[in-house]
């Protein structure tokens, strides 16, 4: 916080202890990689307009590779997970208070668009650009 | 980047969806596409002029580098005459969030209309979502080659916006564009409708359509077919249509379901 200097000086020793606790918990988690789930990464998902039975109104494309992000954002947040600095802080705070503060979220960090060509009810044709439809990269936020 | 991921068909592991899953997936994708329901077009031939032109535009966006390991699905255009996308259309496309083609609602194939020297065209712009502004619009009509004509024979094609019409009085018209065409010319003629399109979008009650008038070199009004103008629905790949390029004024959020 940019404000609240009083609060920062007040009870100064307590946060230091809790951060130390968090770091110990981080070390413990890092020492037990076997129990950790799969890390945050991009998974394949192809949306097929043909398989959805929409060929009578969607002219193009036949479908598109959408992808999605899934996996755990837990320490060690290595470069593969493309974690932000905020994600690292979020993980620390989660260790301090795991019941109320969630872990960082595995979510898209890069998104791209597609365009879809389709008929409307009046047989007019619409070409629409949809932004942020395709996951390019995932990361921990 | 609208080019790379379009038309990608990967060798993803496939699983057949159960009926319920399929319905849910359809609902989700419709929501992502911003559609309240699945469109049910009464005519869905892709060989009409407007869908072919739109497919040309789509392919203009979709031609990009192909990432390795992916096979591409490319819609194949029929081999008939295709409404060519001009460099100007490509520029309009770059600025647009949405492009829409409109079919002519006036039945030009009625025999009685062939007696008249003007043609009427109407397009329904009433279903455009709010917040979309027309950045460019064109009326497109095909001109066939006239075989039996003098080399230097020319015609004047005039496109008018209908301002007012009532059964008891003359139709009030506003000249939008006038163009001289050679009898030997062949191809698509595009008339600018940008201002008219914006007017019709904001004031649907003023959308009374267009009139096309053809005059020969002596100033005599004549049937547009004499100059090779295709005003009817045949051939289907040469039907006249309107195309409009839209840009969203505001960020639209999907409603929470």
DSSP code per residue over B115-177: GSSEEEE----TTPPTTEEEEEEEEEEEEPPPSSS-TT-EEEEEEEEEEE--TTSPPEEEEEE
Select the more confidently predicted residue: A74 or B116: A74
**Could you report the per-residue pLDDT of B46-105, keeping only the tens digit for each?**
788 899 999 989 988 865 443 333 333 344 444 344 457 777 888 888 888 899 999 888
Would you state the pLDDT for residue A79? 55
- Between the alpha carbon of residue B169 and those of residues B115, B160, B164, B210, B239, the distances in Å are 20, 17, 9, 17, 30
- Which whole number is the average pLDDT over B218-245? 86
Would you state the pLDDT for residue B245? 94
Token output for A97: 């208070």
> Is residue A10 predicted with pLDDT exceeding 70?
no
Paired with B248 in beta bridges are B132
Chains A–B, number of C-beta pairs less than 8 Å apart: 133
**Cβ(B141)–Cβ(B229) below 8 Å:** yes
Verify whether the Cβ–Cβ distance B54 to A127 is below 8 Å: yes
Q: Which of B131, B157, B5, B109 is nearest to B66 (CA)?
A: B5
Give residue B192's pLDDT band: very low, low, confident or very high (50, 70, 90).
very high
When CB atoms are compared, the residue of A53, A59, A134 closest to B55 is A59
SS3 B84: coil
Closest CA–CA distance from residue B159 to any residue of chain A (Å): 22
Rounded to an integer, what distance in angstroms lies between the CA atom of residue B143 and that of residue A49?
36
Place of tokens 């068909």: B9
With beta carbons under 8 A apart, name residues in chain B contacting A45: 12
Token output for A111: 């998104």
Which of A67-71, B70-74, B166-170, B197-201 shows the lowest per-residue confidence on average (mean pLDDT)?
B70-74
With beta carbons under 8 A apart, name residues in chain B contacting A54: 26, 38
**Could you report the per-residue pLDDT of A70-129, keeping only the tens digit for each?**
988 876 666 556 778 888 888 888 888 888 998 888 999 999 999 999 999 888 999 999
Does ipTM surpass 0.85 in this model? no
Would you state the pLDDT for residue B82? 46
Residue of B nearest to A129 (CA): B97
- Which whole number is the average pLDDT over B170-192? 89
Strands of B37-92 (E only): list them: 71-72
Q: Which of B165, B195, B160 is nearest to B179 (CA)?
A: B160
Rounded to an integer, what distance in angstroms lies between the CA atom of residue B185 and that of residue B154?
9
With beta carbons under 8 A apart, name residues in chain B contacting A46: 9-10, 12, 14
**Cβ(B123)–Cβ(B102) below 8 Å:** yes
**Could you report the per-residue pLDDT of A27-83, keeping only the tens digit for each?**
666 666 554 567 888 988 888 888 888 988 999 899 999 899 998 887 666 655 677
Residue of B nearest to A112 (CA): B1
> How many helices and strands in chain A, by DSSP H and E?
3, 7
Contacts of B129 (CB under 8 A, 6+ apart): B252
Select the more confidently predicted residue: B98 or B5: B98
**Could you report the per-residue pLDDT of B12-57, keeping only the tens digit for each?**
667 777 888 888 888 989 988 888 889 988 876 778 889 999 998 9
Verify whether the Cβ–Cβ distance A57 to B41 is below 8 Å: yes
Residue of B nearest to A124 (CA): B102
């Amino acid at each position: 916080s940019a404000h609240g200097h009083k609060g920062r000086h007040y009870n100064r020793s307590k946060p230091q202890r809790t951060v130390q606790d968090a770091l110990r918990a981080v070390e413990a988690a890092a020492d037990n990689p076997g129990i950790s789930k799969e890390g945050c990464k991009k998974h394949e998902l192809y949306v097929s307009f043909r398989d959805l039975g929409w060929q009578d109104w969607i002219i193009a494309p036949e479908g598109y590779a959408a992808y999605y992000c899934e996996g755990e954002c837990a320490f060690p947040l290595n470069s593969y997970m493309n974690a932000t600095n905020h994600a690292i802080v979020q993980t620390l705070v989660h260790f301090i208070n795991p019941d109320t503060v969630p872990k960082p979220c595995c979510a898209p960090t890069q998104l791209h668009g597609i365009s879809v060509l389709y008929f409307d009810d009046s047989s007019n044709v619409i070409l629409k650009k949809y932004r942020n439809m395709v996951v390019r990269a995932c990361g921990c936020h | 980047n609208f080019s790379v991921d379009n038309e990608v068909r990967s060798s993803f592991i496939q699983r057949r969806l159960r009926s319920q899953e399929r319905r849910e997936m359809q609902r989700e994708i419709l929501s992502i596409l911003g559609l309240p329901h699945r469109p049910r077009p009464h005519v869905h031939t892709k060989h009409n002029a407007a869908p072919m032109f739109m497919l040309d535009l789509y392919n203009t966006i979709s031609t990009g580098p192909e990432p390795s390991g992916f096979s591409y699905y490319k819609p194949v255009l029929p081999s008939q005459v295709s409404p060519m996308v001009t460099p100007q259309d490509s520029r309009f496309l770059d600025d647009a969030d949405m492009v829409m083609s409109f079919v002519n609602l006036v039945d030009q194939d009625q025999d009685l209309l062939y007696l008249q020297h003007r043609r009427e065209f109407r397009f329904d712009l009433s279903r455009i979502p709010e917040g979309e502004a027309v950045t460019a619009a064109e009326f497109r009509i095909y001109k066939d080659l006239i075989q039996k004509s003098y080399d230097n024979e020319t015609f004047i094609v005039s496109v008018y916006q209908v301002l007012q019409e009532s059964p008891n009085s003359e139709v009030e018209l506003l000249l939008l564009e006038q163009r001289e065409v050679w009898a030997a010319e062949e191809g698509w003629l595009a008339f600018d409708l940008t201002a008219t399109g914006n007017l019709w979008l904001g004031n649907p009650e003023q959308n009374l359509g267009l009139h096309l008038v053809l005059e020969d070199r002596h100033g005599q009004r004549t049937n547009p077919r004499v100059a090779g103008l295709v005003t009817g629905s045949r051939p289907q790949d040469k039907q006249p249509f309107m195309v409009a390029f839209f840009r969203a004024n505001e960020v639209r959020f999907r409603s929470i379901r």
